[in-house]
Amino acid sequence: MKIRVHDIKDKELVLAGEEQIVDYPTLHAMETAGECRFVKPLAVNLTVVREYDHIRVQGNVATSVGMGCSRCLGDTVHDVVSAFTIFYSRDAGLPQDEEEVELAEQDLISATYEGDEIDFSGEIAEQVLLAIPLKPLCREDCRGLCGICGADLNVTECGCDRQVINPKFSALKNFKAEK
């Protein structure tokens, strides 16, 4: 999703639409690698306005992502929603002679642009990546797989003895304290 800088005025400009995953190389690469599958296209809503020496973009992005549960490996679908604010300013270049620069809070939500267009696709993809769960679960109380026989403990109880004893303490397994 791009916009010409000349079209951005002091009055809010609203951009909304559905974007296909193939238009976002990072997200498409994740899907191609099998890390997840995008069930819905990206629903993107942006409000763009010029403020002083920068351009403020407030937006939200939503989609649904199918992944494997990190405990039982079953399929699960998660809604991914992210709201964000980014301040764009013209790229003035970084100072070359300073080694360390302390960042202010606004610098953490800032981006730069060059030329007459701003391409929002990098920041939109980043927001989606940050909202995808690292360890997705099919449900909060998922019991996972048996470490011995591999049975799905959500479906059946396998009967395996899963009580783990640390080998460092195996000598104490049969120890009984006397009073």
Structural domain boundaries of the chain?
2-142, 143-179
Report the mean per-residue pLDDT for the chain.
85
d(CA 74, CA 137): 9
Percent of the chain exceeding pLDDT 90 equals: 47
For Cα atoms 127, 129, 133, give the angle at the middle one, nearest 5 degrees: 115
Q: What does pTM read for this prediction?
A: 0.74
* Cα 175 from chain centroid (whole Å): 49
pLDDT band at residue 179, thresholds of 50, 70 and 90?
confident
Distances 91 to 18, 57, 113 between C-alpha atoms, Å: 29, 16, 6
Which tens digit of pLDDT belongs to each residue from 6-61?
777 778 888 899 999 999 999 999 999 999 999 999 999 999 898 888 888 899 99
Q: What is d(CA 143, CA 124) in angstroms, rounded to the nearest whole number?
A: 34
Q: What are the structure tokens assigned to 5, written together?
A: 């800088």
- Whether 99 has a pLDDT exceeding 70, the answer reads no
* Other CB atoms within 10 Å distance of the CB of residue 48: 21
Give 45: exposed, middle or buried? Use CB within 10 Å, 0-12, 13-18, 19+. Answer: middle
